[in-house]
Copies of this chain bind each other. A is one copy, B any other.
Amino acid sequence: MTVEARIRHEIETRIRSGEWKPGHRIPFEHELVAAHGCSRATVSKALGALARAGLIERRRKAGSFVAHPQVHSAVLEVADLPRLIADRGQDYRWALTLRRDATAADLAEESGIAAPALVVEGVHHGDDRPFCCERRVIAIDAIPDAAGEGFVDAPPGSWLLARVPWTEARHGIAAVEATPALARSLGVASGTACLQLERWTWRAGVMLTHVVQTFPGDRFDMVAVFKPGT
């Protein structure tokens, strides 16, 4: 355990136990320096980490204070579906149902992807049961290699994840009723409540891909644990 970790842990414990309540002023840096017999840089690093984690707030001249929790946050990790399904102990299978150049009508429904583009649709299966229906549009100019890919054996998400450099993404979550076509693909009754996850991805301001993934409402647990400051 480093000195920094020790300082962090001591303060974190007092906050989580409720001993130091929101608004409580924690010791000044120079006091912690004296208490731990270390340099100020080490104390500063420890407090900086706690501040980044949202556990404390730091104010010049005033000191550092236990933060008031403001909003509940959850980190939603949208893993690669093959891995997600494999982690559940199921066999993964991808079934391509459509792959074609995007028409003007396709792109009219998109915001931000210009021709040429590729439309890919398919169903992710776990143990041969439909798990998620996916429709994706890929910008060819941004990802030229995609034009030569069939996406027959592996879903485009995995392919992209492995080779597309860093991204900025926006996510949306909604509940929708399964359309008849969707219901058929997913093997559920028409009108079943489904979770719809939508994602737009950019690189350097250029949109790379837009994907809509639809899960039967009961088949996808998006549970996230959040500890303020971990």
Give A residues with C-beta under 8 Å from B. 15-18, 21-22, 41, 52, 55, 66, 68-80, 161-162, 164-177, 191-196, 199, 201, 203-204, 215, 217-218, 220-229
- What are the 3 A-B residue pairs with the smallest beta carbon separation, nearest first? A175-B217, A193-B193, A175-B175
Contact of A78 among B74, B170, B177, B203 (CB under 8 A): B74
In the complex, the chain B residue whose C-beta lies closest to that of A199 is B72
Tell me whether A168 and B227 are in contact (CB under 8 A).
yes
Most buried by B among A68, A76, A164: A76
Identify the closest chain B residue to A163 (Cβ).
Answer: B22
Report the minimum CB–CB distance from A41 to chain B (whole Å): 8
Pick from B166, B175, B204, B226: contact of A69, CB under 8 Å: B166
List residues of chain B with CB within 8 A of the CB of A41.
Answer: 41
A17 CB to nearest chain B CB (Å): 5
Interface contact B78-A76, CB-CB below 8 Å? no
Q: Across the interface, do A203 and B16 meet the contact criterion of CB distance under 8 Å?
A: yes
CB distance from A195 to the nearest CB of B (A): 4
Q: Which of A68, A74, A170 has the most CB of B within 10 A?
A: A74
Which of the residues B18, B74, B161 comes within 8 Å of A203, measured between beta carbons? B18
